[in-house]
Structure 1
Amino acid sequence: MTRTVRAVDAGEPRDVFEALRDALAGSGPAVVPREAAESLNGQEATNKQNQQAEPDTVPQNVALVIETSGSTGVPKRVALSADALLASAAASAGAMGGQGQWLLALPAHYVAGAQVLVRSLAAETEPLYYGPGHFDAVRFATLAAALTHDLRYTSLVPVQLARLVEAVEEGATDVAGALRQFDGILVGGQALTSQLRERAERAGARILSTYGSSETAGGCVYDGVPIGTTTVREVGGLLEIGGPTLAEGYLGDEGRTRATFHEADGHRWYRTGDLGRVDDGRVTVFGRADNVIISGGEKVLLDSVELTVRSIPGLDAAIVVASDDDEWGQVPVVVVAADARRWAGPDALRKVRSTVAERVGRAAAPARIVAVDQLPLLSSGKPDRRAAALIVADTDADTAAATSANEA
């Protein structure tokens, strides 16, 4: 059996909420939250154009289709069943202390945002919507003050949490009160540095760091512990996830579905592509297996380098990408925004290199720091690593051209 598909403008999250209500109940079509084309950056717009045409129907059990941004790979359309979505919502409520009211501060076309709506539906509460526009700490605090349920939750990415913490540290008492009133704040999408977490907790925030993806109906590991009946195992250094929240697969891509989801030991597993380990049930994620370079004959996990760089005060938004190098093969390069331009000098580079060398290894020490007027970001707020790598490559080309001209 099949059901029809309905694309919904994610810029109107209340419409997504209503459409999901019907989809989860089985009385409406499957929902595809879709971002407006004008809000996409160039790479994302190209990715969307390269997507296959939306299907007329999907399997009857599919309630939500999440279209990924393709920030480091080919875009995908992840099909999630009503059972998987509701299992995720139930597991989340169990881990957070109960069902409550949510403030949606993430885009509804990403799984973390859509799951805020699903959790609200499961709790039979009305979410509050941040709406369009750049994230502003005072605006967030004003909206948070309108929450009425005994249990209050929100879901953020690290850069949003950092803006809130910075406002508190600058004396914004209303923002401090807003942070303290939440019974739980999920933080995911990127690795959360221990320094930012400590600052947030000093401000009174109750933080849960999440790990998961669209293929797992969002976060399924909180603070390193699988929630609900989720199971995580390590196979050859890579993490695999099993449990009731797994996606059905990728629409229109049976080959990728077979390669990513598989049966083993009587269970269905999702190959995450993430490097990590599991010790006594606790999950540690090292980074993407496809974000590793060989520098001077040694493997370097760029995610680990970036996490370390971001732990340095003033570099919490830095992006680390690879650059070709005649001597070492490839080297890490740090990209910073204009407001962190002071880090582009030789003294700052020495500090960054020594910090990374001490914590990650000498081969991981960044070769240089590139300052840009504005960091390239996807519409979700995540770093656009492809764009950052192109910026570094262009900088390398300009430097080479200048060197050649001087030698001539």
Structure 2
Amino acid sequence: MTRALAVVDTADPFACLAALREALSGDGPAVLFRGGGVNPVHTAPLEVEKRVALVVETSGTTGRPKRVALSADAVLASAAATESAVGRAQWLLALPVQYIAGSNVLARSLSAGTTPIAVPPGRLTSERVLGAVAAMDDPVRCTALVPAQLGRLVDEAEADDDVRRALAGFTRILVGGQATPAALIARATALGWNLTRTYGSSETCGGVVYDGVAIGQAEVRIVDGQVELGGPTLAEYYLDDPERTAAAFVEHDGARWYRTDDAGEIVDGVLRVTGRVDHTIVTGGLKVRLSDVERIVREQPGLGDAVVVAGHHPEWGEVPVVVTTARPSLDELRRTVGAALAPEARPDRIMTVDALPLLPSGKPDRLAIAQRVTAGH
């Protein structure tokens, strides 16, 4: 059996809330939230399988967007898992609804019977945040942020005590979407903010690992060094993409698992993500495959030896860094990469070296190159 799929404009979060409520109850169509900042998938079907309630478009890692189909059971299981970890709360909506973290704020609010308060659209500023917090009427408050947003608020709070006190009043601030620098966590903690690092993706209906430990009925395991996640929050499939679905979702001993793109290890029951298995980074909450950036860079005159690795950025987390023996124009290279790939793929900087470190095979020693970038020389 099938049901209709409605594309809902994210301009009005409360219209999105009402649409999601009907989708989860089965009284309305499944929903796909779409805002002006999302690369639209024009071939989105008008119908989906009846068990699907929410479809989330993601950037993917190949430049080809994915449409993740989530059942009502998965969305509600995710909300229940979060409530079991942080308690019933009123939520501050600071993330776009079209992303799973934003949709989850709505789902958690529906599950808890509380009214979410949305920060006005635009850059996250102290004025917008303080205005939204002032409208909250429940003493138990939570919000979800990405590291770039947290960094901005920490900067504001260190100069504005009103911001510091407002966020210190939150029971929990969830931070996910990409790796959060330890220094940023330390600064936020010093302000008295109660942070929880989350790990998950659209395919797991958002974060299912909090501070390295699975929540609710979620499970985490390592297979050949790769992180896999299981439990009732897993997506059904990728719409119209059975090949990608088969590669990402696997079954073992009757249980279903989502195979992430992350390498990791579990030490004393705590998950530690050690990197990406496909040379993909998450920058500003979006995925960028470094091999794609490197391919474009190497096509440019004089850059056949260039290597692209991940570098740290205080606001965006990880960013592409070009390491080469040449001295190309950064502006020109950014324009070239941006024309071929997503804007987030544009190199953040260029490091020129006398010679690239090589392995005995003659291939670039990417670990040594990445270490140079980290050290800044």
- Which TM class, normalised by the smaller chain length? 0.7 to 0.9
C-alpha distance in 1 between matches for 2:106 and 2:50: 21
How far does residue 11 in structure 1 lie from its aligned partner after superposition? 2.0
Q: Is the 8 A contact 2:143 2:173 kept in 1?
A: yes
- TM-score, normalising length from structure 1? 0.73
Give the partner amino acid of 1:233.
R
C-alpha distance in 1 between matches for 2:158 and 2:312: 25
Gaps of 5+ in 1: 293-301, 307-319, 340-363, 377-382, 397-408
| 2:346 aligned counterpart, secondary structure | helix
- The match for 1:128 among 94, 114, 117 is 117
Q: Which residue of 2 aligns with 1:7?
A: 7
When structure 1 is superposed on structure 2, of 20-29 and 136-145 the one drifting more is 136-145
Q: Is the 8 A contact 1:65 1:77 kept in 2?
A: yes
Q: Which residue of 1 aligns with 2:364?
A: none
Q: Is the 8 A contact 1:13 1:131 kept in 2?
A: no
Alignment of 1:5-404 (within 5 A): 5-36=5-36, 39=37, 44=39, 48=40, 51=41, 53-70=43-60, 73-96=63-86, 98-170=87-159, 172-291=160-279, 330-332=307-309, 334=311, 384-388=343-347
| 2:256 aligned counterpart, secondary structure | strand
How far does residue 330 in structure 1 lie from its aligned partner after superposition? 2.2
Aligned length in residues? 327
Counting aligned pairs with the same residue, the percent is 46
C-alpha distance in 2 between matches for 1:335 and 1:204: 25
C-alpha distance in 1 between matches for 2:137 and 2:310: 46
Q: Is the 8 A contact 2:145 2:175 kept in 1?
A: yes
Q: Given the superposition, is the C-alpha separation of residues 137 and 58 from structure 1 closer, same or farther in structure 2, using an over 3 Å criterion?
A: same
Q: Deviations over 1:105-153 (max 9, x none)?
A: 0000000000000000000111001132111123212211221113100
Q: Deviations over 1:19-62 (max 9, x none)?
A: 000011110100100112xx45xxx4xxx3xx351212111111
| 1:228 aligned counterpart, secondary structure | coil
Q: Given the superposition, is the C-alpha separation of residues 56 and 288 from structure 1 closer, same or farther in structure 2, using an over 3 Å criterion?
A: same
C-alpha distance in 1 between matches for 2:229 and 2:183: 28
Q: Given the superposition, is the C-alpha separation of residues 263 and 387 from structure 1 closer, same or farther in structure 2, using an over 3 Å criterion?
A: same
Greater per-residue helix proportion: 1
C-alpha distance in 2 between matches for 1:388 and 1:331: 8
User: CA-atom RMSD, angstroms?
Assistant: 3.3
Gaps of 5+ in 2: 284-289, 316-320, 336-341, 354-377
Q: Is the 8 A contact 2:104 2:206 kept in 1?
A: yes
- TM-score, normalising length from structure 2? 0.78
Q: Is the 8 A contact 1:188 1:209 kept in 2?
A: yes
How far does residue 280 in structure 1 lie from its aligned partner after superposition? 3.4
C-alpha distance in 1 between matches for 2:246 and 2:156: 46
Q: Given the superposition, is the C-alpha separation of residues 236 and 16 from structure 1 closer, same or farther in structure 2, using an over 3 Å criterion?
A: same
Q: Is the 8 A contact 2:330 2:350 kept in 1?
A: no
